[in-house]
Structures are given as C-alpha cells and as structure tokens.
C-alpha cells in the first residue's frame, strides 16, 4: 500500500493562534515572531492538528465505520429471507424490532463520533454545521422510530399524512446531514493539503455520490427498502474510513 502524500504546510497562517500566549497570528508567516510575546512561529497548523485531537478523531471514526458495516447485515438478512426459507424463523414484528435496534446502534455511534470531531478545536463554523446536522439527524430517526413503534408495538395506525411525510422527507433529511458531515471531514484534510492514495480518494468520492443515490432509491418500495440501506451503510463506512485514515496519518506525522 502506498503511503499518503506528506502534509504540505501553507505559506501563510489563516486561523491560528500563538501556542504560547494565544495571540491571533492571522496572515503571519512561518519563521516570524509573535508580535505579542516574541515566540517564533514554528508550525503552520490549525489547533486541531495535534496528536491528542487526531487520535480521538481516529478512534471515533473507527467506531462509526464498524457500526455502519454492522448495519449492512440487516438488509442482507432481509434479502436472504426474501429468496430463501429463512422467513419462517422470523415474524414481521421480530424483524422490525431487530432493525430498530441495529439502526439505533448505528445512529448513536455515528452521533457520538460526529460530536467527538465537533469537540476538537476545528472552528466554530464547522462545529455548528456538525452539531446542527446531528440534531436534525437524531430528530428524523426519533420520528421514524416513534412511527414504527406505534404501528408495530402499540398497533395503532399512523395517520396517512404523517406516514407519507416521513416516507418522502426522512431520506432526504438524513442524506443531507450525512453529506454535511462528509463535507466537514473533507475540509479538514484539505486544510492540511493531505491526499490519500488514488484508490482511496476515488472510493471516498464514489461513496459521497452513493449517499445521494441511496436517498433517492429508498423511496422505491421493495427494491429500495432492500438495497438503499446497504448502499447507505457502505457509503457511510467508507466516509468514516477515510476520516480514520487521515487522522491516523496525522498522528504518525506528529
């Protein structure tokens, strides 16, 4: 496997503070002295580019990656049930409950991973985007889970207008929040001018596109319900894998 290209530091500081006194060094160049305390500017990196922050990001990304891969087992199980005799071992209600449990696991782990990134000194704008996306995502899944529980557990029919609204709006909202998270992750790598190998860069670009495709596919009955979750989970896994590789490379470069 080829090693990623080395980090290339930009010629000018954009948003960086002196590590000694905290003075804003906007526009200062490498090798100059801090106007406040006289410390030589020895590294041109954002505050989050340190081994501690990068290690936390790498661990959180790895957890979200494996949670997304685990979720892929659910549609595979559904597909096997549809083409084999496995369906006799599962009631429809049991399958739905298993699906809800696995979905909650993935949603919770992903939310925790995104919050871990947001807690690092990545900047207020990125933090707002990540947390806003997480809140919207959790609200959407809470609404979906509530509707499913009412139908399956309480056995009360959800009004048609609520079901139709969730059916069409939920996939769009979820995909939008995932795209926002992937965009923020990509901006971190771009800030440090880091590039992965060509194969991994291509796989991650495809994953971002497949997220949108999964959001469109899921509104198709039967076929969409089986294949869209698989594509969605695989795309998320690749996106978090790219973040994990970037963070680990950053730790190794410290």
* pLDDT tens column, 48-107: 888 899 999 999 999 999 999 988 877 777 777 767 766 565 555 666 677 778 888 889
What is the structure's pLDDT at 227? 80
Check whether residue 119 and residue 27 sit in a common domain: no
DSSP helix/strand/coil, 156:
coil
* Number of compact structural domains in the chain: 2
Check whether residue 31 and residue 156 sit in a common domain: no
- How does DSSP assign 41-62, residue by residue? ------TT-SHHHHHHHHHHHH
Check whether residue 247 and residue 201 sit in a common domain: yes
Check whether residue 55 and residue 25 sit in a common domain: no
| Structural domain that includes position 35 | 1-45
**In this structure, are residues 60 and 119 in contact, taking their beta carbons and an 8 Å threshold?**
no
**In this structure, are residues 209 and 17 in contact, taking their beta carbons and an 8 Å threshold?**
no
Check whether residue 149 and residue 113 sit in a common domain: yes
Kindly tell me the sign of the dihedral angle through the C-alpha atoms of 134, 103, 72, 80. Answer: negative
Q: What is the mean pLDDT of each run of 10 residues along the chain (254 residues)?
A: 44 57 74 82 73 93 94 75 63 68 88 96 94 94 83 75 83 91 93 86 93 84 74 93 93 76
Query: What are the Cα distances from residue 93, in Å, to 96, 98, 151, 153?
Result: 5, 9, 10, 8
Specify the DSSP element, H or E, that contains 240.
Answer: helix 223-253
Contacts of residue 156, defined as CB under 8 A and 6 or more positions apart, other chains included, come to 150
d(Cα 174, Cα 169) in Å, to the nearest integer? 9
What is the structure's pLDDT at 7? 45
Check whether residue 129 and residue 246 sit in a common domain: yes
Tell me the β-bridge partners of 17.
24
Check whether residue 131 and residue 174 sit in a common domain: yes
What is the structure's pLDDT at 244? 96
Check whether residue 35 and residue 66 sit in a common domain: no
Check whether residue 159 and residue 114 sit in a common domain: yes
Contacts of residue 20, defined as CB under 8 A and 6 or more positions apart, other chains included, come to 34, 37, 39
Check whether residue 216 and residue 239 sit in a common domain: yes
d(Cα 103, Cα 67) in Å, to the nearest integer? 9
Check whether residue 154 and residue 65 sit in a common domain: yes
What is the structure's pLDDT at 8? 41
Q: Does pTM top 0.85 for this prediction?
A: no
Check whether residue 158 and residue 243 sit in a common domain: yes
């Amino acid at each position: 496997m080829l090693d990623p290209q080395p980090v290339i530091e930009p010629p000018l500081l954009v948003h960086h503070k002196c590590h000694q006194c905290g003075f804003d060094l906007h526009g200062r160049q490498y090798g100059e002295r801090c106007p406040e305390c006289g410390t030589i500017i020895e590294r041109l990196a954002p505050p989050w580019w340190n081994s501690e922050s990068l290690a936390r990001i790498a661990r959180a990304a790895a957890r979200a990656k494996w949670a997304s891969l685990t979720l892929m087992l659910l549609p595979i199980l559904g597909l096997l049930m549809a083409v084999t005799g496995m369906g006799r071992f599962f009631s429809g209600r049991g399958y739905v409950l298993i699906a809800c449990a696995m979905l909650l696991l993935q949603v919770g782990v992903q939310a925790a991973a995104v919050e871990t990134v947001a807690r690092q000194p990545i900047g207020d704008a990125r933090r707002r985007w990540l947390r806003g996306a997480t809140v919207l995502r959790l609200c959407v899944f809470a609404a979906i889970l509530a509707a499913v529980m009412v139908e399956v557990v309480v056995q009360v029919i959800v009004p048609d207008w609520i079901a139709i609204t969730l059916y069409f709006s939920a996939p769009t909202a979820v995909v939008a929040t995932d795209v926002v998270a992937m965009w923020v992750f990509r901006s971190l790598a771009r800030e440090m001018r880091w590039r992965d190998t060509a194969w991994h860069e291509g796989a991650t670009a495809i994953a971002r596109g497949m997220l949108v495709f999964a959001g469109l596919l899921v509104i198709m009955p039967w076929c969409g319900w089986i294949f869209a979750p698989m594509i969605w989970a695989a795309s998320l896994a690749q996106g978090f894998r790219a973040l994990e590789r970037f963070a680990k490379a950053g730790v190794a470069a410290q």
